[in-house]
Structure formats: C-alpha cells, structure tokens
Amino acid sequence: MSFLIIFQNILFSYSHHDKYEFYLYSILLYNKKQENYYIGGITDYVDKKANLILTTCSMAWGTSYIFMKLGIEGLSPLMLMALRTGIAFLILVLIFFKRLLKVNKRLLLYSAITGFLLFTNLTPILYGLNTITASQSGFILSTTVVLVPVIHAVISRRLPEHHVRLGIIIVLIGMVLINGGDIFAVKPGTLLCMLSAFSYSINIVLNSYFTRQVDPLALGVYQQGFTCLYSIIGLLVFGSPVFPSTALDWISVLGLALLSSAYGFVVQTVVQQYTTPENTGFLFSLEPIFAAIFSFIFLHEKLTEMGYLGAIFILAGVFTAIDAKNTVMELITGKSVAEVTSKR
C-alpha cells in the first residue's frame, strides 16, 4: 500500500467526522488480481494495519533530521521552524476546515500550552544539529520513551516498573558512550537534544490529559499554529526574517512541513487510538534507526565505534523500558509471550 493510498483513506475517514469510520476507509487494500478495493476484517486486521501505518509515521519523522540538518545551512532555526509549522498549519486548516470551526477557550489554552512545548522541543534540535550529527540527535531524542514513564512516576509518586528502571540505566550508559565516553565533556548539541527530549516528554504527558478534554485533531492543528506564532515572535525579537533563497532551502522546508508535520501528525492522531500504547511506543522508537539509515544514505554520516555502541545501548534501553520482547510477540502473533510459552 502506497503513502498516497494510506493518506487518502485517512483523510476520507476524517472528512466524515466519525473516528470509527477509520475502520471502513483507512484499512482499504488494493487487490492487484481483481484490480479493485475491498474492505478487510475489523479487529485484528485493523490493529495490524494501524501498526504498519504507524511505522510509516516513524519513517516520516526519521527523514526530519536530514531536512533539519540541510535546512539550517541556509536558514536560521527560528525561520525554519516558522515556515515548517506555518505551512503545515495552513495545509491542515484547508483539509479539516469544518472540523476546526468548533473553537472554545479551553481548546485555545491547551493548544497554546502544547504549542509552546512543541516550540521548545523542535527549536533546541535545530540549534543542537550545529555540533552533533543527525544520527546522534535521533538516538538521543529516542530517550523520550524512557522519560515519559519517569515523569508519570514523579506525578503519581510511584516508582516505575522494574523493566523501566533497568531501561533507564542502560540508556544512561548509552548516552555517555554516544558522547564519546567522557561524561564531563558533553557537547552543547547533546544537552540541547536532551532538553528537547524532556520537553517532548512533558508534551506527551499533558496531551494524554488534554485529548480527553478537547478534540485531538483540533488540538494538534492549532498547536502547529501556536508553534508558528512563537517562532515568528522569536524571529522578531532575536533576528530578522530571511526567507529561503535556494532550491535546497525549499526542499528542506517542504519536506519538514509535508512529511514530518502534516503527514506525521495526521497519521499519529488518527491511527494511534487503534493500537496499544506498547505497540505505539515500540514503533515510534524505530525513528532513530530510520534517521541513522537516511543520514548515512543522504548525508554520508557515520558514527564512531563508540558512537555505534552508544546507539545500541540507547536502543536496548528503550526496548527494555517498553518491554519490547512482549510487544514484538504481540505484533507478530497477536499473543503475549506468556500466552505463547504456556502452550508449549
């Protein structure tokens, strides 16, 4: 199934303003033998298709590190942010115009808060890419999967589960290794990406509450608008706007706006509710792998031997924290490890 078919079906389902119509439209398959569309089963099939589509979301976000790395060569981080989120906002408004007419104070307040957190998530990455590679930033930002349960633990005043605590330790070892093995010589880019991961973790935690109070789609769209507004304010205060002047600049801007923001946002918002949080966490943790692959192919980036070892530790820690063994088993068989082993 192509990106076009996936996106078309998702948009069609949302145009009817009924989240359950995703069952009927976004899981259409193209049958090459019969040359027509047919609708698959409803339960297990939907879960598997949702997981597949979320994987494309991770791929789309994996490309963002390339576009950001290329974009900051000709544009300031704030200008790149303003154009990225501004174009994505306009596109989403045009697509979901009727859905976005229902506006209230709570929606705008929550959008302003999450928009600021998105601003503090994306802007540090752009500045951080001046001193570290796209691959390194991708692996550092994957620690969000570990930080979210830590923040939840602080709020609930309960220790994270054992596998989460073990995952945190492994991730910390990986962070030291990917930084070159010297815990006291941390690059500014590493610190900025760690700040970004922390900000995004808070965003995820708050979104889990906000999306139960307001329309998730509207929240996400207006969030993009507020992020653009904050970027413009930053531009006016700290510098003068300089618009893209080369084809590479525009490719970077449009790649970020269309793939990473517009497509990635729509896919996550629509599809995430049709699979488990564990599956979502695991599939999103594949983002740094895609980032490393794309960075190697298009930017010819390579990590040092210690850097690769650190990346392995970070991924191992993330997979440990989200109980990847059980998650992968459920993705493949639809059953937990305990259920499979109990039948042997």
pLDDT tens sequence across 268-305: 766 766 776 656 767 777 788 888 888 888 888 887 88
Residue extents of the structural domains in the chain? 43-339
How confident is the model at residue 302, as a pLDDT? 81
* pLDDT of 117 over the 50 cut: yes
Lowest mean pLDDT among 12-16, 126-130, 249-253, 259-263: 12-16
Dist. CA 26–CA 39, nearest whole Å: 9
**Greatest CA separation for the chain:** 67
Bridge partners, 30 (sequence order): 37
* pLDDT of 119 over the 90 cut: yes
What predicted TM-score, i.e. pTM, was given to this entire model? 0.76
* pLDDT of 343 over the 80 cut: no
* pLDDT of 327 over the 70 cut: no
Name which of 222, 143, 211, 213 is nearest 176 in CA terms. 143
Q: Which pLDDT band holds residue 57 (cuts at 50, 70, 90)? A: confident
The angle at the Cα of 192, spanning 87 to 291, to the nearest 5 degrees, equals 60
How confident is the model at residue 225, as a pLDDT? 95
How confident is the model at residue 209, as a pLDDT? 83
Distance of CA 239 to the CA centre of its chain: 28
Q: Which pLDDT band holds residue 262 (cuts at 50, 70, 90)? A: confident
Dist. CA 15–CA 240, nearest whole Å: 39
Query: Count of CB atoms within 10 A of residue 274's CB?
Result: 21
Name which of 249, 287, 316, 321 is nearest 135 in CA terms. 287
Name which of 230, 297, 259, 330 is nearest 58 in CA terms. 259
Q: What stretches of the chain adopt beta strand conformation (E)?
A: 28-31, 36-39
Report yes or no: 206 and 151 within 8 Å, Cβ to Cβ.
no
Report the chain's terminal Cα–Cα distance, integer Å.
36
